[in-house]
């Protein structure tokens, strides 16, 4: 009788622990799903912010309110931070004029460093930049219009709420 009671008590304890372990595994699975959803939402929100910035830059260049070389530097660098499926796989191939101007002006001095350059060197950089801008300006505006159309449906600002 004692052995039977001990076996029943042991079986109940084992069943209870197995049930609790199953419950914990189910909770872990739910937690991983929620984490994946939060990560996807965070990536989507970040991309939406990036696309909003790129859209504003594109609009400024198209309307002539922003320097083409400055916009090329900003857009080229900011598009590198896009994550997920919206990422432009080969930016240089899809936007060749923008990429070419970026590579021409990326190493030129800007801001205070530019002011400290000798006048002759500063003028040489200005000339190189202006030649590249005038040569590539129309192509860049066309590329930016295409980029703007490409990111317009992706620029969905979403509010993330804790679940």
Give the pLDDT confidence of 90-123 residue by residue, as tens digits: 888 889 999 999 998 888 877 788 878 888 888 8
Helix 96-105 to helix 119-151 angle (10° resolution) is 150
- Flag whether pLDDT at 126 surpasses 90: no
Q: Please tell me the distance from the alpha carbon of residue 97 to that of residue 50, in angstroms, as a whole number.
A: 21
Per-residue b or e along 121-155, where b marks 16 or more CB atoms closer than 10 Å to that residue's CB: eeeebeeebeebbeebbeebbebbeebbeebeebb
- Flag whether pLDDT at 156 surpasses 80: no
Q: In the numeric block, which tokens belong to residue 56?
A: 């504003």
Q: In the numeric block, which tokens belong to residue 21?
A: 């372990």
pLDDT at 25: 96
2-17: pLDDT as tens digits: 888 889 999 999 999 9
CA-closest candidate to residue 71, choices 109, 92, 98, 100:
98
> 14: Cβ–Cβ under 8 A, 6 or more apart, which residues?
none
74-86: pLDDT as tens digits: 999 998 888 878 7
CB 95 within 8 A of CB 74: no
58-75: pLDDT as tens digits: 999 988 898 898 899 999
pLDDT at 157: 52
The whole model's pTM is what? 0.72
Q: What is the DSSP letter of 30?
A: H
18-53: pLDDT as tens digits: 999 999 999 999 999 999 999 988 888 888 888 888
Task: Read off the pLDDT of each residue in 126-147 and give the average, rounded to a whole number.
Answer: 89
pLDDT at 84: 79
């Amino acid at each position: 009788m004692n052995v039977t009671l001990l076996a029943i008590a042991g079986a109940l304890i084992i069943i209870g622990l197995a049930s609790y372990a199953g419950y914990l595994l189910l909770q872990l699975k739910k937690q991983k799903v929620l984490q994946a959803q939060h990560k996807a939402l965070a990536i989507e929100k970040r991309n939406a912010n990036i696309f909003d910035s790129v859209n504003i830059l594109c609009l400024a260049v198209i309307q002539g309110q922003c320097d083409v070389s400055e916009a090329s530097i900003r857009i080229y660098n900011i598009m590198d931070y896009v994550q997920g499926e919206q990422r432009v796989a080969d930016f240089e191939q899809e936007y060749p004029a923008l990429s070419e101007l970026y590579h021409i002006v990326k190493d030129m001095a800007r801001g205070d460093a530019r002011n400290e350059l000798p006048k002759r060197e500063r003028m040489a950089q200005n000339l190189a930049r202006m030649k590249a801008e005038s040569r590539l300006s129309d192509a860049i505006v066309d590329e930016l219009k295409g980029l703007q159309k490409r990111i317009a449906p992706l620029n969905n600002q979403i509010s993330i709420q804790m679940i």
